[in-house]
Amino acid sequence: MFAYTVRRVIATIPVMAVVALFVFSLLYIAPGDPAAIIAGDQATPEDVERIRESLGLDRPFLLRFTEWLFRVLQGDLGVSIFTNLPVSHMIQQRLEPTFSLMALTLVIALSFAIPMGVLAAWKQGTWIDRLVMVFAVMGFSVPVFVVGYVLAYTFALQLDWFPVQGYSPLANGFGGWLSNLMLPAIALGSAFIALIARITRATMLEVLSQDYVRTARAKGVGQRSVLFVHALKNAAVPIITIIGIGFAALIGGAVVTESVFAIPGVGRLVVDAILRRDYPVIQGVVLMFSFTYVIVNLIVDLLYTVFDPRIRY
Partner 1 sequence: MPPLLEVQNLQTHFGTLDGVVRAVEGVSFHIDAGETVAVVGESGCGKSVTAMSIMRLIQTPPGKIAGKILFQGRDLLELTEPEMQAIRGKDISMVFQEPMTSLNPVLTVGRQIGETVMLHEGLSAKDAEQRAIEMLTLVGIPAPARRVREYPHQLSGGMRQRVMIAMALACSPQLLVADEPTTALDVTIQAQILELMRDLKTRVGAAIMLITHDLGVVAEMAQRVVVMYAGRKVEEGSVEDIFLHPLHPYTRGLMGAMPKLGSSLTTTGRTKLTEIEGQVPSLRKPIIGCAFAGRCPEVTDVCRRMAPAIEEKAPAHWVACHYAARAMAAA
Partner 2 sequence: MSTTTLPTDGFTPAPELADVLPPRKERSRLGMFIHRHPTIAVGGFMVIMFILMAIFAPLLGTVDPTALAPAKRTRAPSEIYWFGTDMLGRDVYSRVIYGSRISLIIGFAVAFLSAVIGLFIGLISGFIRSVDAVVMRIMDGIMSIPSILLAIAMMALTRASVENVIIAITIADVPRVSRLVRGVVLTLREQPYVEAAIASGTRMPTIILKHILPNTFAPVLVLATFLCASAMIAEATLSFIGAGTPPIVPSWGNIMAEGRALWQVKPYIVFFPALFLSITVLSVNLLGDGMRDALDPRMAKRI
Interface residues with partner 2 (CB under 8 A) are 14-19, 21-23, 26-27, 30-32, 34, 37-38, 137-138, 140-146, 149-150, 153, 157, 164, 248-249, 251-253, 255-256, 259, 270-271, 273-275, 277, 279, 282-283, 285-286, 289-290, 293-294, 297
- Binds partner 1 (CB under 8 A): choice among 31, 45, 175, 220: 220
Nearer to partner 2, 81 or 119 (CB): 81
- Residue 61 and residue 94: Cα distance in Å, rounded? 31
Asked if 211 is part of the footprint of partner 1 (rule: CB under 8 A), the reply reads yes
Helix 279-307, helix 232-260: angle, nearest 10: 160
Binding partner of residue 259 among partner 1, partner 2, none, CB cut-off 5 to 8 Å per kind = partner 2
Nearer to partner 1, 149 or 307 (CB): 307
Stated length of the chain: 313
161 φ, ψ to 5°? -80, -30
Asked if 59 is part of the footprint of partner 1 (rule: CB under 8 A), the reply reads no
Least gap, CB of 241 to partner 1 (angstroms): 15
Asked if 175 is part of the footprint of partner 1 (rule: CB under 8 A), the reply reads no
248 φ, ψ to 5°? -65, -45
Asked if 1 is part of the footprint of partner 1 (rule: CB under 8 A), the reply reads no
- Residue 95 and residue 8: Cα distance in Å, rounded? 27
Asked if 224 is part of the footprint of partner 1 (rule: CB under 8 A), the reply reads no
Asked if 126 is part of the footprint of partner 1 (rule: CB under 8 A), the reply reads no
Buried b (16+ CB within 10 A) or exposed e, 143-163: ebbebbeebbeebbeeeeebb
* Alpha-carbon 291 to chain mean position: 11
Who's near 301: CB < 8 A, 6+ residues apart?
8
Nearer to partner 1, 71 or 214 (CB): 214
Nearer to partner 2, 104 or 285 (CB): 285
Asked if 187 and 147 count as a contact pair (C-beta separation under 8 A), the reply is yes
Q: Taking the C-alpha atoms of 122, 126, 130 and 131 in order, what is their torsion angle to the nearest 10 degrees? A: -90
The letter for the amino acid at 25 is S
- Binds partner 1 (CB under 8 A): choice among 216, 239, 256, 269: 216
Nearer to partner 1, 175 or 220 (CB): 220
Nearer to partner 2, 20 or 226 (CB): 20
- Binds partner 1 (CB under 8 A): choice among 161, 212, 228, 313: 212
